[in-house]
Amino acid sequence: MKITKTIIVKQEDTAPKHEVHGAYEYYKHLIVSKEENQCTVAIMEIPPLKAAFPYHYHVDITEVFYIISGEGSLRTEEGETKVTAGDVLVFPPGIAGSHKLCNTSPTEVLRYLDCDTTSRSDVAFYPDSGKIGLILNGKPHSFYKEADRTSYYDGEL
C-alpha cells in the first residue's frame, strides 16, 4: 500500500511475518511495503544462531541496516566482520553489496532496522548456491540455477 501520510508506529503494534527454513529464520515487522513506494522499512529480528537470508546481492536495490540490539557476524566480499548495536550497514547494488548477516549470540535476538530502495523488478544473485532470483513487485517470483543459462534464441522458431 502506498504511503500517503506520516507513519508513527511501535514495533509491538505490528504483526510480524515469521519465516523458518533450516538455518534461516526471522521475524519481519513490515512498516512500509515495497508496493508503490520508493523504499521499504521493516524491523527484522533474527533468533539466536540463525541468519535471515543466504549470502546474496541485488542488481538494483540498495539496502541499509541499523543494528538496534544484539550482535552478529556480517559476511561481505571483504570477509567476516562483527556487528553490534549502533552499527549502520550499507549494501550498494551489485556484487560489491554482497552480504549475509548472522546472529552469533546463543541467547539474544539480533534486531535491526532494514530500509531498502525499491524497484518493480529486481534480480538477486546467490553466489554460494549459484542461483539467480527474480523479484517482481517486491515478491519472490522465480529462482534458477545459473548453470541452466541458455542463449537468447534457444528454443525459438
- In angstroms, the CA 6 to CA 41 distance is 13
Does residue 137 sit within a domain?
Answer: no
Q: Is residue 27 part of a domain?
A: yes
Is residue 31 within 8 A of residue 43, CB to CB? The reply is yes
Q: Range of 77's domain?
A: 16-119
Q: CA-CA-CA-CA torsion for 101, 53, 42, 40, nearest 10 degrees?
A: 110
Query: What is the number of structural domains in the chain?
Result: 1
Residue-level pLDDT at 18 = 98
Residue ranges in the chain whose pLDDT is less than 50: none
Q: Which of 77, 40, 71, 35 is nearest to 55 (CA)?
A: 77
Residue 144 lies in a domain: no
Q: Is residue 1 part of a domain?
A: no
Residue 8 covered by a domain? no
Say whether 147 sits in a helix, a strand or coil: helix
- pLDDT, position 139: 82
- Whole-model pTM: value is 0.92
Task: Answer yes or no: is 71 within a domain.
Answer: yes
CATH number of the domain that residue 84 is part of: 2.60.120.10
Query: pLDDT digits over 69-110, tens only?
Result: 999 999 999 999 999 999 999 999 999 999 999 999 999 999
> Is 67 part of any domain?
yes
Residue 89 forms part of a structural domain: yes
- Residue 47's pLDDT is what? 98
